[in-house]
Chain A
Amino acid sequence: MEPILTLKNIGHSYGNQRALKGVDLNLMDGEILGILGPNGSGKSTLLKVLDGLLTPTEGEIRLRGRLFRDLNRSELARDVAMVAQENYFRFSFTALEVVLMGRYPHLKRLQFEGRRDMDVAYNALKATHALDLADRPIHELSGGERQRVLIARALAQEPKVILLDEPTSFLDLKFKREIFRLISALSRDQGLSVVLVSHDIDLVAMYCSRLVMLKKGEVYTTGEPEAVVTAENVGAVYECPVLVDKNPQTGRPRVSVV
């Protein structure tokens, strides 16, 4: 089957600073791809490239065979959604209003949301178990609640691919688990492809079907979690000695710093 996103020999430099080099990557339908790597390894740059927010200086990226540069921003936003790390809620939008913003690429200038847009927004809120938050002001929600609403906004774009930038970085354990379970359920039930960047190796290894490990802007290794998360790989990429064993319940790799 044809991959939904195809990256061929992607490289990017900020001035003299090389951020990505020779990245080849395919994203298949319904898979959850985790991107791992230490700070400065190019994770965020890669995510921006996947979202079309950054045009890489080398290589080409395609959505279902169409080059990104031939797509306009709205077309791209209808297929690829992003849950960004930086969000500002200084003003009192309700959760539902925030989710409806996800309909923007589907609407014309000044066109108000119609019945179908409302249905899509409600379904997105249902899928993220956030329907009871619909009328709540977004700035009053807890971190976990807010993240569910933001994922619902991404779903309201009706994308094929969702990109998540550190989706659980400010959350405590309970909400981390909840968000990861939610992501894998969405991928399973709606056939969504997911790309997520995270520092949480254990959780990524548990919920992702495939991992990419970046080191200094290059793909160090890629494959199934068991093959990628080994003591040698993690030790070499993160420059930190670790012990990797198996989570006794899930059988997935588990990392401990030694």
Chain B
Amino acid sequence: MSSQYPHTITTPGKVVFLSLVMCIILVCAMAIALVVGTVDVSFGHIMGIISGTLPTDDPVRLIIFKIRLPRIILAGLVGFSLSLGGIVFQAILRNPLADPFILGVSSGSACGAVLGIIFGFGFSVGIPVLSFVGALLTIYLVMSLGARRMGMESSTILLTGVIINAFFTAVIMFFISISADERLHTMLFWLYGDLSQGQYGQLAFIAPIVLVVFIWLYSLSKELNIITTGDEIALQLGVNVAATKKTALVLVSLLMGLVVAFSGLIGFVGLIVPHLARMVFRTDHRLLIPIGSLGGAIFLIAADTLARTLVSPSELPVGVVTAFMGAPFFILLLRKKGSQWSRS
């Protein structure tokens, strides 16, 4: 197709090819992350594992399969989800700075999770559900306070998000201050963002949901393209704007609730990765959604590997690493394009 026409457009072949390239990079990143860390993994170990000659109770083998691999997969799933959520949020709000973390959706979700812990709920159902409810409520708040009256392009929505974020962070702090038991530590973890708790049981719970949400959101990619250019024109072309937005926002809430429940507040992934992906591949969501999501997985695996190794043998919360990278990036974007993204 593209060979017959002088201009580049998105074709299914291009989407599949570039997604495969991203998958290969992802696998490489995972492989590197597996062997890098406080405990050295030698070439001999790797060969031993591949050939099956390394005994099953070998400590290196245990570290790789029981600790590092689930953590890396969790990082991948979380990064994938955060980036996907960012892309969809940005399209619906028509604002490249609208990341769920910046708009307070993540902290609203964390608030729900913290409440879940106080009520003594478990990680299997109760905490993720409350976390999802927290995300959904925050999205509703941001949309009704910031978006409806002032127009979604305005910086008002960012300001609304900042305020909501500050409020929910304060609520979390409040709960941490008043609870004087060992659950405190579990709660603190939400404020930093931490992937070290990754377990296979959680992964089996998260992965299918992320996959279904991804496919669902991908099926809305053409609608998202058109919605970014205006609601009226989208209606005109036959896009069911209200239903598309509602579906997408609920799906993103689900994703954020899930991610926050298992990894805490990891910021800026949904801002940096979609932005870089758009710089390279432009905005067609049929391409941007898979590429940006896979990019998010790669990014967070890399960030978490840094978090594990930078101050080895101690380690940093991954949220600290992404914030170190993300905050200057955000300011740069705001400075460069600030006026363009305020109401025009």
Q: Find out whether the CB atom of B238 lies under 8 angstroms from the CB atom of A73.
A: yes
14 contacts between A and B (CB under 8 A): A73-B238, A82-B236, A84-B230, A89-B229, A94-B7, A96-B7, A97-B225, A101-B229, A104-B226, A105-B237, A112-B12, A113-B9, A135-B8, A157-B237
- State A115–B5 Cα separation when bound (angstroms): 9
Q: Which of B1, B233, B278 has the most CB of A within 10 A?
A: B233
Across the interface, which residues of A come within 8 angstroms of B229, CB to CB? Answer: 87-89, 93, 98, 101
Measured CB to CB, the residues of B under 8 A from A are 1, 4-12, 91, 94-96, 153, 218-219, 221-222, 225-226, 228-230, 232-233, 235-240, 278, 282-284, 286, 340-341
Q: Find out whether the CB atom of A84 lies under 8 angstroms from the CB atom of B233.
A: yes
A96-149 CB contacts (< 8 Å) to partner B: 96-98, 100-102, 104-105, 107, 109-110, 112-115, 118, 122, 134-135, 137
Q: What bracket does the count of chain A residues touching chain B fall in?
A: 35 or more
The smallest beta-carbon distance between A86 and chain B, in angstroms, is 5
List the 7 closest A-B pairs by CB distance, nearest first: A91-B283, A73-B238, A74-B238, A77-B238, A105-B238, A104-B237, A82-B236
Across the interface, which residues of A come within 8 angstroms of B239, CB to CB? Answer: 104
Measured CB to CB, the residues of A under 8 A from B are 51, 53, 72-74, 76-77, 81-82, 84, 86-94, 96-98, 100-102, 104-105, 107, 109-110, 112-115, 118, 122, 134-135, 137, 157
Across the interface, which residues of A come within 8 angstroms of B238, CB to CB? Answer: 72-74, 76-77, 104-105
The smallest beta-carbon distance between A137 and chain B, in angstroms, is 8
Q: Find out whether the CB atom of A90 lies under 8 angstroms from the CB atom of B153.
A: yes
Q: How many A-B residue contacts, CB cutoff 8 Å?
A: 107
Given A92-B278, A94-B282; A87-B236 close (CB under 8 Å) = no
The smallest beta-carbon distance between B218 and chain A, in angstroms, is 8
**In the complex, residue of chain B having the shortest beta-carbon distance to the beta carbon of A107:** B222
Out of A76, A86, A101, which one reaches B226, CB within 8 Å?
A101
Out of B153, B235, B340, which one reaches A53, CB within 8 Å?
B235
Given A84-B232, A112-B12; A92-B1 close (CB under 8 Å) = no
- State A112–B12 Cα separation when bound (angstroms): 7
Grouping DSSP codes into helix (H, G, I), strand (E, B) and loop, the B interface class, with mixed when no group exceeds half, is loop
Given A105-B238, A110-B219, A157-B237; A92-B282 close (CB under 8 Å) = yes
- State A135–B9 Cα separation when bound (angstroms): 9
- State A77–B233 Cα separation when bound (angstroms): 10
The smallest beta-carbon distance between A106 and chain B, in angstroms, is 10
| 10 further interface pairs, Cβ-Cβ under 8 Å (given A105-B237, A118-B4) | A84-B230, A87-B230, A88-B228, A90-B94, A90-B340, A96-B9, A101-B237, A104-B226, A110-B221, A113-B9
Across the interface, which residues of A come within 8 angstroms of B221, CB to CB? Answer: 110
Q: Find out whether the CB atom of A93 lies under 8 angstroms from the CB atom of B236.
A: no
Q: Find out whether the CB atom of B341 lies under 8 angstroms from the CB atom of A53.
A: no
- State A112–B232 Cα separation when bound (angstroms): 23
Q: Find out whether the CB atom of A93 lies under 8 angstroms from the CB atom of B237.
A: no
Q: Find out whether the CB atom of A77 lies under 8 angstroms from the CB atom of B237.
A: yes
**In the complex, residue of chain A having the shortest beta-carbon distance to the beta carbon of B93:** A90
**In the complex, residue of chain A having the shortest beta-carbon distance to the beta carbon of B218:** A110
**In the complex, residue of chain B having the shortest beta-carbon distance to the beta carbon of A100:** B9
Across the interface, which residues of A come within 8 angstroms of B6, CB to CB? Answer: 134
Q: Find out whether the CB atom of A88 lies under 8 angstroms from the CB atom of B237.
A: no
Q: Find out whether the CB atom of B11 lies under 8 angstroms from the CB atom of A97.
A: no
Q: Find out whether the CB atom of B341 lies under 8 angstroms from the CB atom of A90.
A: yes
- State A88–B233 Cα separation when bound (angstroms): 10
Q: Which of B1, B222, B230 has the most CB of A within 10 A?
A: B222
- State A82–B13 Cα separation when bound (angstroms): 32
- State A87–B226 Cα separation when bound (angstroms): 11
Given A87-B229, A110-B222; A102-B237 close (CB under 8 Å) = yes
**In the complex, residue of chain B having the shortest beta-carbon distance to the beta carbon of A92:** B282
**In the complex, residue of chain A having the shortest beta-carbon distance to the beta carbon of B282:** A92
- State A53–B284 Cα separation when bound (angstroms): 26
Q: Find out whether the CB atom of B7 lies under 8 angstroms from the CB atom of A77.
A: no
Across the interface, which residues of B come within 8 angstroms of A101, CB to CB? Answer: 225-226, 229, 237
